[in-house]
Structure 1
Amino acid sequence: MSSSALPLYRLDGTSTSTTFTLPTHPLRRRPPPSARIIHPNPSAPSRRLPLSFLASAQPIPPSLSLSHVLSDDLCAPLTLRDFFNFLAERERAPENLAFVLWYRAYERRFMALPAEERGRAEQLHPAEEWRKYAEERECERLERAVREQEDKEDEWENSDGPKPWECISLERMGAESPFADPLGVHRCSPSPSSTDEERTQSVDLTAQAAMDAETLAIAPWMVDEVGARDRARMAEISRQADEELQRTVSLLMRDNLPLRDEIVRAVQHFLTPASPYALSSSHIPALLLTLRRTTHPCAFLPLYNELLLTLTLDAHPRFVRSALANTRTPLRLAVYALAIGLYLLGGIALGLACVLTGVSRWWRIASIPLVWAGMAVSLALVSGVCPMVFGTRRRQLALWEAMDAEWEGEKPGLARSSCSRTLAGKNQKQRTARAHGIFQFVHNDWWAAHPAARRMQNGVLKGAGAWAALGAGVWGVGILLVPGRG
């Protein structure tokens, strides 16, 4: 059995591998060389961000992979704390990383238990448990349908026979006509035998269905009434979710399996809709069903693999791409205005002046370098890389780094990396003291001089220069072909 080499994921989400990476047997037929790996999420935003359109996609080196970030082996701005702060501040979605870190710690604690303790927790797969649950529900539904059919047959036998005319409803016949009630106002009228609660609910639905733009224009205060009804409905949904959570927790606490208390806390922290770290996945219902019978870490594997894949293909490339930005927004805007105003517009003005004054065509060539410089610097700044700062081997702190430098306490569950502890002296003081200011930079920084960062930033600059050369060439051809005055 042989296996292909692991692919390197580029910053735009593509892969460096050109063949399938699944294990292959020597006697089996290999796939054609032209076969390519299909990206699991072709519509991921990481494939559309503007760092790789300037040049060919730069692959993320293995030394900066997600495994190194999760192990906290790197220095700022690629530490685990920086990754968490980036997801919390920029992406507003740190729950995937929080769950991955919790699962790894929980798996270590579970495997550290004695063998007899681990043996009491069965290895159950959520998909299999959900299949059994669905089969049981289907059997119950069929049995209930059979019983209802038998009850109806008994009623028909004991009565004078079926009376089809009793099932005729004039309101239902009118509702089926497309011209009877075009606004649908009378389709939800309550029956005389309905209760007060059902009658109130149907009236609310009718009023909501009949409300249109003309009604709101005549009575704008009805918007507040609709908002109140929506808030009441959301409160009812939240109450039902809390009741379902309490029922799930009570079912989880029925046994004395190992680490059951921690499982309950994890359910309340990650699998509760009202929690700040609530996860969104289709594996959650099957996982909750499986956790009623076991506390083994394998029950979390489908959810863990899905979230880890999301971090690998989407969040981690975004994080590395944001870390490549060597300037912050204020300085970037200032340099961008300088590049547009002085170089690009200056070059265009010089070329037009040469045309209008009727001087020699050779003087027009002087505008081409200015146009190229303005376009190249502007395109590089769009990707967050400033050419002037790149030449000094310095950088400015990112937003999440500045916030992290001002923190006095430690975020629970995230320890400071070994590299950060090593640089906690002079360099860390400089990072903290230079967190603010448009012209304040970090000196002697690990990331600013990192070979991988320099290589990827250099690729951005080369791409910006190539596109700028194309634009300057078009400008040069056009300005040289324009006839001069006089």
Structure 2
Amino acid sequence: MVLSLSYRRPQYVRRETLERRNSDVSGSDKEGASLKSGRSTASAGIPDALTFDKIINGGTCPPCTVRDFMNYLVYIEHAAENLQFFLWHRDYTQRFQEASTSDTSLAPEWTQEMEDESAAKLQKDAVEKLKREPEAAQIFKGTDFEKGAETAIESKDPFSTPPSTPGDGDDASTVYSGSQAATTYRSQNAFVAAGVKQPFTIQPFREEINRVIATYIADDAPRQLNLSAREQKATMHALAYTTHPSAFRQIARAIENSLRRQAHPNFIRWSICNGNPARVFFARGLGVGVILLATVAALLLTLSRAGRGWRALAAIGWVIGIATLIAAYKGMCVVLHGMHHRHVRPWELFIEGDDADDEEASLKKGSFESFGSSNSYEDEPWIVKYEKRNVVRKVFDREVWIQEPVLRQIQDTIFIQSMICALFGAGVLSAIFVAVPAGGFLLNVGCWEN
């Protein structure tokens, strides 16, 4: 069973494209409905069985599980912090709502009216700040120091510069993740930079919120989210007031929008590819080579005294070559597709024997932990091993069965589309060569006897 022959795989969505689409969306209701349904214009080409909610809720099979999604964000998209924060916020919302302790009343909801009022106040403060410091604002305008200059001007805090601490020469993320004092200091400094007072420490989950601030929101955080200065300050104002999950409403909406409308379509598009880059490049070269060989054979038959029907034999090579080339253009190898196999990902390739369970647990633990160091993977041992691997071994890397049935349907559909295009192209070329009169330049063996 295949999908519609008019199927098109999801288009690759760039961050700039997503931002432009967001600016074109008018009204929060339209955006909220899109996020609630899990569908959007960017999700065209994604079947219902592979929607964002299906993947997050564990309703899919490899290679389209939430773990595969996380690995894609870590190693390919380099934006795993979005999914890590999304999963934490969903879990935190559930735990906060299920908490039966009486101290939850100390953390009231951050309403939409409060958010709008805070945004208006931030806008007013920004205008007044530019009036007070016009020269400084003009100097730093349009530079990387603009955000830092605004923060320093607004806070007017002589202690805004972090003091030197033991271990500054070590990895900052390691020092931060292993020290509760560093976490507290980073969160407190974030409140000072946002120009708000320190929050009440007796509110529920305040310690966890401080860890979230130090991990995802504060400047130079190990998993810092891609937030604007206004979003960062607005969130800090909300967190200074309450630890209610609604305090994250603004950035949670932006993160979920990015996951649904950019990361998810890109992940499905990437998952459709069943071969690594070396195998896909080899398939493209093979397709071009077969097409050229078939064309040369057709030319030789046309220039000879052979009958016109013999020229149609070149159509076999054209069908194979064109189908292989089109499938490779979409990241698929027809040989792997024939067995419904895919290449093992480089970060999974060197997991063997008894180390498989430990390595798998290590990968899952490192990326699915809500708090920890940055998502850098440059020091992982598989990188050096894979770089030393020769091209031939990469082309014929280890293969595994594709378990997700809908993904196999997508690949079947793309293969059939490639075959239809190949048959049409081969038919046109065959008609052209058959219609051309024989050249008679290449003599057969019998001509030399006369």
The TM tier, using the shorter chain, reads: 0.5 to 0.7
User: How far is 1:238 from its partner?
Assistant: 11
SS in 2 for 1:99: helix
Correspondence for 1:285: 233
Residue among 385, 388, 396 paired with 1:439? 396
* Counterpart for residue 273 of structure 1: 219
1:316-363 deviations in whole A, cap 9, x for unaligned? 22222222222222233333322221x211111011111222432212
- Flag the 1:125–1:248 CA change in 2: closer, same or farther, 3 A: farther
Structure 2 unaligned residues grouped into runs of 5+? 1-6, 13-27, 30-37, 162-188, 370-388, 441-450
Higher helix residue share:
2
CA RMSD of aligned residues (A): 4.1
Bigger Rg, which one: 1
> In the alignment, is residue 348 of structure 1 matched against residue 295 of structure 2?
yes
- Match among 333, 357, 361 for residue 304 of structure 2: 357
2:109 alignment partner AA: Q
Evaluate the alpha carbon distance shift between residue 272 and residue 11 of structure 1 in structure 2; reply closer, same or farther with a 3 A threshold: farther
Indicate yes or no: 2:416 matched with 1:462.
Answer: yes
1:7-42 Cα distance to aligned partner (Å, 9 max, x none): xx984269xxxxxxx99xxxxxxxxxxxxxxx9986
Show the 5 A alignment for 1:79-478: 79-125=65-111, 128-132=114-118, 134=120, 138=124, 240=152, 245=190, 247-248=192-193, 251-281=197-227, 283-341=231-289, 343-402=290-349, 409-410=362-363, 411-412=365-366, 414=368, 438-443=395-400, 445=401, 448-478=402-432
Give the structure-2-normalised TM-score.
0.64
The answer to whether 1:12 aligns with 2:16 is: no
CA distance in 2, matches of 1:110, 1:475: 67
SS in 2 for 1:395: strand
Q: Encode CA deviations 1:134-175: one digit per residue, 9 max, x unaligned.
A: 259759989xx9xx9xxxxxxxxxxxxxxxxxxxxxxxxxxx
Written as runs of structure 1 = structure 2, the 5 A alignment for 1:34-49 is none
In structure 2, C-alpha distance between the alignment counterparts of 1:383 and 1:350, rounded to whole Å: 28
Q: Name the SS of the counterpart of 1:474 in structure 2.
A: helix
How far did 1:373 drift?
A: 1.1
Residues 356-387 of structure 1 show CA distances to partners (whole Å, capped at 9, x for unaligned) of 22432212111122112101111111222222
Alignment: residue pair count: 339
Cα distance in structure 1, aligned partners of 2:151 and 2:253: 31
Residue 237 of structure 1: CA displacement?
5.4
Distance 1:388 1:130, change over 3 A: same
* Partner of residue 60, structure 1: 47
The Cα offsets for residues 388-442 of structure 1, whole Å up to 9 and x where unpaired, read as 2222233221235437865672434628xxxxxxxxxxxxxxxxxxx97543434
- Correspondence for 1:483 among 424, 437, 442: 437
Change over 3 Å in CA distance of 1:298–1:372 after alignment to 2: same
Task: Provide, for residues 232-278 of structure 1, a one-character-per-residue CA deviation record: whole Å limited to 9, x for no partner.
Answer: x6997599496562515873444421111211221221112322422
Partners of 1:454 and 1:141 in 2: how far apart?
Answer: 56
In 1, distance between residues paired with 2:291 and 2:150? 57
* Percent identity of paired positions between Structure 1 and Structure 2: 25
Unmatched 5+ residue regions in structure 1?
1-8, 15-21, 24-38, 47-56, 149-197, 206-229, 416-434
CA distance in 1, matches of 2:260, 2:119: 32
SS at the partner of 1:256?
Answer: coil
